Structure 1
Amino acid sequence: MAREIISTEQAPQAIGTYSQAIKVDNTVYLSGQIPLVPATMELVEGDIEAQIVRVFENLQAVAVAAGGDFSNVVKLNIFLTDLTHFPVVNEVMARYFNEPYPARAAIGVAALPKGAEVEMDAVLVID
């Protein structure tokens, strides 16, 4: 089993004891991303849409560093501190993904790191 640590400066650096992603053979497990701006490691300014866009941009940067892109995503997990924001997730997600869409879960949580309102992680399979 080949295991590779994936890391890129184009996404926020890990703020704990984890890697941005781990590639095992042709499967890539992306760690959760919150809406941190990579250059400053601060939350993006703006509304929930700005946070969701930043999270997708962060995930995309890690996916590219792993040799894939969003067409390789087979599973996406979305964590929201307010599930009323879910329609905004759908609207923004449509900008980044084409059919067939990945399997997905949306989970309401009490809080996220650094006061973020959204976090997402993903699993990719790269052919």
Structure 2
Amino acid sequence: MAKQAINTPLAPVPVASYSQAIRKGDSLYLAGQGGFDVNTGALVGDGVREQTRQTLTNLAHVVTAAGGNMDDIVTVRVYISAHEEFAGMNEVYGEFFNEPYPARTTVSAGLGPGMKVEIDAIAVLG
């Protein structure tokens, strides 16, 4: 079974050698997204809430391009710039997912300049 690259103009274009997502069978592996506006290429703001909202919107566009939706996501990895950003990220995160929620890991990590959050995910389509 061959792997298939998934790309959409509704999410930021990768700036290195990777795809927005890869589908193999019913599994979809979504690359990390940040809070970048697809039209300007800039971060949507300085706060974790607005960046989380844009990040998850970008992920939703990629899942949709693969023929799925956010309910198909089974696991999520969230990278935040500082532990203090957790509450704001978690508040917005809850707007995008329904019970049963995906499994999730959240870690503090060094992110790019100005980035408060980056999120990747795995979905099962079918």
TM above 0.5, yes or no, is: yes
Deviations 1:86-114 (A, max 9, x none): 111221111111000000000111x2134
**Hey, what does 1:45 align to over in structure 2?**
45
How far apart, CA to CA, are the structure 1 residues paired with 2:18 and 2:95?
29
How far apart, CA to CA, are the structure 2 residues paired with 1:114 and 1:125?
32
> 1:46 deviation in Å?
4.2
**Matches of residues 85-96 of structure 1 in structure 2 within 5 Å?**
85-96=85-96
How far apart, CA to CA, are the structure 1 residues paired with 2:48 and 2:116?
7
Given that 2:46 and 2:114 are in contact with CA atoms closer than 8 Å, whether structure 1 keeps it comes out as no
Q: Say which SS state the counterpart of residue 88 (structure 1) adopts.
A: helix
**Hey, what does 1:11 align to over in structure 2?**
11
How far apart, CA to CA, are the structure 1 residues paired with 2:2 and 2:113?
34
Structure 1 segments of 4+ aligned residues over 3 angstroms from their partners: none
**Hey, what does 1:57 align to over in structure 2?**
57
Q: Say which SS state the counterpart of residue 92 (structure 1) adopts.
A: helix
Ranges in structure 2 where 5+ consecutive residues have no aligned partner:
none
CA RMSD of aligned residues (A): 1.0
**Hey, what does 1:33 align to over in structure 2?**
33
How many residues align? The count is 126
The TM-score normalised by the length of structure 1 is 0.95
Q: Say which SS state the counterpart of residue 90 (structure 2) adopts.
A: helix
How far apart, CA to CA, are the structure 2 residues paired with 1:50 and 1:14?
21
> 1:2 deviation in Å?
2.9
How far apart, CA to CA, are the structure 2 residues paired with 1:47 and 1:116?
9
The share of aligned pairs that are identical, in percent, is 37
Q: Is 1:74 the equivalent of 2:74? A: yes
Q: Cα 1:7–1:114, aligned 2, differ >3 Å: closer, same or farther?
A: farther
